[in-house]
Amino acid sequence: MNTVLTKEPMSRHTTWRVGGPADVYFRPASVGELQAFLGDLDRDTPIHWTGLGSNLLVRDGGIRGVVIAPGRALGDMVRRSDCCVEAGAGVPCTSFARRCAGWGLGPAAFFAGIPGTIGGALAMNAGAFGGETWDTVIDVDTLDRAGRIRTRPRSDFTVGYRQVTGPADEWFLAARFEFVAQSGHDADAVRDLLRERQQTQPLGLPSCGSVFRNPPGGHAAQLIESAGLKGERIGGAEVSAKHANFIINTGDATAADVEALIARVRDRVEANHGVRLELEVHIIGEAA
């Protein structure tokens, strides 16, 4: 059964644990329900999609329009052939990495370093530990505002570093990936990458993952740290002492605190290094 909520606090659905209310929050139970919902929606209503709520800052005034959280409705993952894997947009990237490793397919271990879902990874060409999502994509299924499903080849999309451009007003439902048979070491690689994340990132505290993209030839975390910003704080938002490209909610942060700290970090890094850091996190919604 689907779930439709009004004035739903997005702080319940983002990994930063901040964010004002969405006018409408919709969690479909199936693709069919999702199609019907979109088909009935006024074409001028803004639509926002969310997976696990990582890589997302929702402002304190909330989101006008509809937030769609497909979750389990798009949570299937199957092996289509010896080397082809199909995954729904709601599959967590860590689950994807583990399943591919279990099948002896790769390279997919790097997905263990991505804190979101396959849908979010497709939308921004997410990557970690040297791998990027679209490196092995064959084709994708998309859904438009009218509820129509299309299968599109990789060539319909322009893919770059942390950005993907494709047909307007279509969203990812699923993708098929082509891998090669591995020697069985990918399972060890997944465990190693998860252990590395645990050791180098503040995983036990509310954050969004990496806030900034790495600039060409450099690392955002190194620039932030060398600018003396580790531990910098505004309200309840703080630059992590463990990994400088993470901003954590120490317990009572608002979205305004986080956004103000993001601006301070960008300004300080630019003043110290002459580099204007680009955001990896998406900021949406209205200020309070």
280 is catalytic: yes
CA pair distance 240, 134, nearest whole angstrom: 29
Least confident stretch, 20-34, 181-195, 221-235, 264-278: 181-195
Of 210, 232, 238, 259, which residue is the catalytic one? 210
Say whether 70 sits in a helix, a strand or coil: coil
| CA-based R_g, the chain, Å | 19
Which of 8, 86, 259, 280 is the catalytic position?
280
Domains defined along the chain, listed by start: 3-72 (3.30.43.10), 75-187 (3.30.465.10), 202-284 (3.90.78.10)
Confidence (pLDDT) at 280 = 94
- pLDDT for residue 184: 62
Q: Is 207 a catalytic residue?
A: no
Alpha-carbon gap, residue 261 to 157, rounded angstroms: 34
DSSP state of 278: P
- 70's tokens: 């497909």
Q: How confident is residue 71, by pLDDT bands cut at 50, 70 and 90?
A: confident
Query: Is residue 162 among the annotated active site residues?
Result: yes
Computed over every residue of the chain, the mean pLDDT equals 94
Confirm if 201 and 218 have CB atoms less than 8 A apart: no
The mean pLDDT value for 80-84 works out to 94
Contact 23, 5 (CB under 8 A): no
Which tens digit of pLDDT belongs to each residue from 235-251?
Answer: 999 999 999 999 999 99
Single out the catalytic residue among 99, 162, 176, 266: 162
Task: Tell me the CA distances in angstroms from 221 to 15, 82, 234, 283, one per residue in order.
Answer: 20, 39, 18, 20
- DSSP one-letter code for 226: H
Residue 185 clears pLDDT 70, i.e. is over it: no
pLDDT class of 38 with cuts at 50, 70, 90 = very high
